[in-house]
Structure 1
Amino acid sequence: MAFAYEACLAGIAIVVATAALASIVTALAIRYAHHRRLFDLPGQRRAHRVPTPRGGGIAIVVAMVAGGCVCMAGEGTTWLVLLLPPVLGVAGVGWLDDHGGLSALKRFVVHVLAAAWMVAGAILLQDALPPHVARAGALMPLAAVAAALAVVWSINLHNFMDGLNGLLTLQAMFVLAVLAALALLRGVPGGMPMLVCGAACAGFLPFNFPRARIFMGDVGSGVLGFVVGAGALWQAMHPEIAPTSGLVLCSAFVTDATCTLVSRMLHGRRWYSAHREHLYQWLVRCGFSHARIVALYMGWNLLVALPVVGWMNRVPHPSMSTTLVPAIAVHAVALAAWWFGKRWCLRHVRERSAHAAA
């Protein structure tokens, strides 16, 4: 009993220290950005109206790595070998892109290598996988490819959705906190590292929401996409937790990013170029404030995604057959909300344009 109490206090101390470190490094990152003149300037595709420093996500990375290393110090080097190199790689290309821009191809190659490192390493180091996953046999190569692609898409979709004060930070905090709670409640390893990653976001949040003193930049959005994707995959491999929990928790971002990408491809646009066609960007064009839009996305998380995940995990060892249908239903409703929301925005913008022309 005493040991559990001491472990709880130690965990709280690590979480608080991680958040504090993120805040300190963010303040330093603001000074660095001003010194190097790293600013995102207002423009047609931007949702802000004043020049704002970027690259503040480096604080999340520093705090996340420091807190994560402390959490995993007693669990051997396996997890550090699996996760530290890809996190640093994704952060590195993001940092370079924030400083001057890298081609989409170069960033994509590093993202693929990072995902492949984590997935291949987990397979080669059999002790990193739950026993039933390690025994997958002939299905393992197919599952590995699917897992790597999912992580690559997670990195990029979170980068796409990083265009509004506090939106990505709060989304990552929500997903990581719920995944951490599920892991800790069910005795699954990995709960504390995910909680620490959420704490790093919490330390950055006051500098980015409701008024942005600094933007996260690619250095932060890419790493958060990697961590959220890796966390969702890790959770899905443990039978104690509903396997589609991560997919439901990410439904708002997955739907907006995926539907927007598919829509641009179907309309023959250059889907890989910068644009302002995500639903949250259309809401900005309709006059919604950043805080109001963030409230809409977080409202979906708290009123739809969280209750469904709670219901799916109401019993121990929920099966895929009983959780797949709720996950599909959530994404179907999200798709409908995205479609009707986009139609409403288009109509509203046309009406505003017509009134302005008159």
Structure 2
Amino acid sequence: MMVAWMAGLLAVLAVSAGLTWGARAYALRRNLLDEPGERRSHGVATPRGGGIAIVLTLLLACVVAAVIWPKAGITLAVFALGLVLVAGIGWWDDHRPLPAVRRLLVHVVASALLAGLVWHATGNAWQALLALLFATSLINIWNFMDGINGIATTQAILAGIAFAMVLPPPYGLTGVVLGLTCLGFLPFNYPQARIFMGDVGSGALGYAIAALVCLVSVRTDIHWLLLLVPLSAFLVDAGFTLLSRILSGQRWMEPHTQHLYQRAVKGGASHTFVTGMYLVFGIFSAAVFNACTNLQPRWEAAVAVAWLIFATGLWLLLRKGMRN
């Protein structure tokens, strides 16, 4: 049985890598390229849309899981529908740019499906509403933060591992599968980018991670604030950059290069170095999270608040240094 499980997980990795190779060939054939520009962090034209490989692998995994665990079929189908909606609007946007409001409406609909699953599992309307807001936000946060080689994928792998470690079996497999789908894509994107994830992948990846967080919130007693810790690198950078743009009167929905990771690259740091630094911070975040999941709820919340304050202070310090 163990050999069969290992073979299945290796198949996830292989399928993701194979589909990424196919996505690159498709992008080159269709001339689907991201060109360098003032609001981008790369210097050469690069194929985009490789994230479709992650999406298709996750959907295939949902089909296999539904066969193995028929009782979970409806839940998996609802999740898959939401994933298809987010990935579909992203795929469209990769081929023919769409208004931000139209994309956001689709994100809200997909997040509402996820919120419905949470409501059905818990009967808690407030928790479902929180899931709706969180999923909608994370879809866009992962899109905002997918701007340099490997950063979005490596953070997703860390999140998958961190949450897999606290979920009871067989639910922990969800985090492992998510991590493996990203790992199959990673060699094509890091350290040198032969293809970018594109909106089809970044938004869908944010949705998948939000679903994983919702699963942990339903299947464990971990305080919801502590669930934010493994994602703190992206939450802090995206959240406070957005807030600063709003407060300064900028058109915050337009593309820009003001995130901390983008400022670092513009300042001369390599993609490899910056992604590596975010990876190190992510490892510490995951370690703090996993070390504190058996505390009493009030202490879990206290640790989470303290860590987020620390992350915010570090962000402010680094951002000030780069501005100066």
Who is 1:170 aligned against? 154
Match of 2:306 in 1: 329
Structure 1 gaps of 5+ residues are 1-5, 135-139, 348-358
User: How large is the Cα RMSD of the aligned pairs?
Assistant: 1.4
Equivalent position of 1:350 in the other structure: none
Contact 1:156 1:222 (8 Å CA) reproduced = yes
1:277 aligns with 2:273: no
> Partner residue of 1:354?
none
Give the alignment partner of residue 310 of structure 1, picking from 290, 296, 306.
Answer: 290
The aligned residue for residue 206 of structure 2 is 225
Write the distance in 2 (CA, Å) between the matches of 1:321 and 1:72.
37
**Pair 312,72 (structure 1): closer, same or farther in 2 beyond 3 Å:** farther
**1:1-358, aligned counterparts within 5 Å?**
6=1, 8-76=2-70, 77-123=73-119, 126=120, 129=121, 133-134=122-123, 140-183=124-167, 187-241=168-222, 243-302=224-283, 304-313=284-293, 315=294, 318-347=295-324
281 and 287 in structure 1: CA distance in 2 versus 1, 3 angstrom threshold: same
Match of 1:137 in 2: none
Maintained 8 Å contact 2:225/2:305: no
The secondary structure found in structure 1 opposite 2:165 is: helix
What displacement does 1:73 show?
2.3
Note the alpha carbon deviations across 1:242-294, whole angstroms, 9 max, x for none. Answer: 54443100000000000000000000001111111000000011100001001
Separation in structure 1 between the aligned mates of residue 126 and residue 165 of structure 2, nearest angstrom? 30
Give 1:188 shift.
4.9
Tell me which residue corresponds to 1:356.
none
Shift of 1:306: 2.3
- Cα distance in 1 between the residues matched to 2:14 and 2:292: 34
Name which one, 1 or 2, has greater alpha-carbon Rg: 1
Deviation at 1:190, TM superposition (A): 2.1
- Tell me, in whole angstroms, the C-alpha distance in 1 between the residues paired with 2:166 and 2:223: 9
SS of residue in 2 equivalent to 1:220: helix
Contact 2:86 2:203 in 1 (8 A): yes
> What's the offset of the Cα at 1:21?
0.6
Moved more, 208-217 or 28-37: 28-37
Question: 1:88 is aligned with what amino acid?
Answer: V
Structure 2, unmatched stretches of 5+, are: none
Indicate the SS of the match to 2:174. helix
Distance 1:9 1:72, change over 3 A: farther
Task: Give the paired residue count.
Answer: 322
12 and 243 in structure 1: CA distance in 2 versus 1, 3 angstrom threshold: farther
- Find the residue that maps to 1:250 and give its secondary structure: helix
Q: 1:241 to 1:143 in 2, by over 3 A?
A: closer
- CA-to-aligned-CA distance 1:110-159 (integer Å, 9 cap, x gap): 00000101212443xx4xx2xxx33xxxxx33322221011000000000
TM-score computed with the length of structure 1 as normaliser: 0.87
